[in-house]
Copies of this chain bind each other. A is one copy, B any other.
C-alpha cells in the first residue's frame, strides 16, 4: 500500500514500511492521502538528515515570502510619519543654527520673524538693505560680511527650505494612501494626527481593536507610566492633544473633549478596518457642536 504525503517541501510517496520517495510527477499519481493515524510515522521519517537542507531552504523561502507579503499600508504610513517627525527635528536643528549664524550679519531680523518658515523665505528672497527698509530697523548691530560669508548662510537656508518642501510632499503622499486605506480616520483626525495614531497603534487592525480610552492616551505612555509608578496626575491625552478640536477647546473641558474625540476615532478605526461606511463628517459635526 502506498500513500501520498504533502508537506512544505513537496509531495512524497510513503509505503507501509516507512520508506519515502519524492513524488516527481504529481499530476499522474493516483494515491490515497496518508491517513491520520499514520502521520506520526511519516513525520518521524522526515527527521532523516537528508531532508534537513531542503526543509531549511523551503523555510527561508516561505519566511521571505511572508515578510514580502506583510508589507502593507500600515508600514508605509508608519515609515512616512516617522520620517516627517525626523524631518521636523532635522529642520529645527538647522533653522536654529541658521538664525544664530545669520545673527552675525543681521541680528535684528530674527526676533521680528517668529515663524521659522517665513524667516527662511525672507532671507532667501531679500537682501539686507531691502529688509532694513521693510522692517524699519536702524543702527544695525550686524557685521558687514563679505558676499562669500553670506552666501554660505543662504546655502544653508536653501537646504532648510528644501526640507520643509519635502515634508509637505510627504504629507500629500500620506494623505493619498490614507484616503483609500482609512478615509474615516483621515477625515476626522487629519493627516498628521491620524498617521501618528496608526504609528502608535502599530497597525489599523490593532488600532481598531483598542478601546477608546487607550486611543485617547496613545503617545502619552511616558506620563501614564509615571502616573502608575509615582501616583502623579494621570495624563488626559496623547497625540489627540494636537487635534484642532482639542487645541481650540477651552482649557477646562479639554480632557472631556479628548475623551469624546477618542470615542469617535475608535469608531472610525473600526469602520475603516472593516470597510464600513464613511461616517467621519457626521462625527465631526457632532463633536464640533458639543465642544465649544
Contact = CB atoms under 8 A, between A and B. Distances in A.
A209 interface: no
Contact of A68 (B61, B67, B75, B141): B141
A70 to B, nearest CB: 8
Interface in A118-135: none
A54 to B, nearest CB: 15
A145 B139 CA distance: 58
Identify the interface centre among A83, A86, A104, A152: most chain B CB within 10 Å of its CB: A152
A87 interface: yes
Chief secondary structure at chain A's binding surface: helix
B64 A141 contact: yes
Contacts of A87: 94
Interface of A: 60-61, 64, 67-69, 71, 75-76, 79-80, 82-83, 86-87, 89-91, 93-94, 97-98, 100-101, 104, 107, 139-145, 148-149, 152, 155-156, 159, 162-163, 166, 169-170, 173, 176
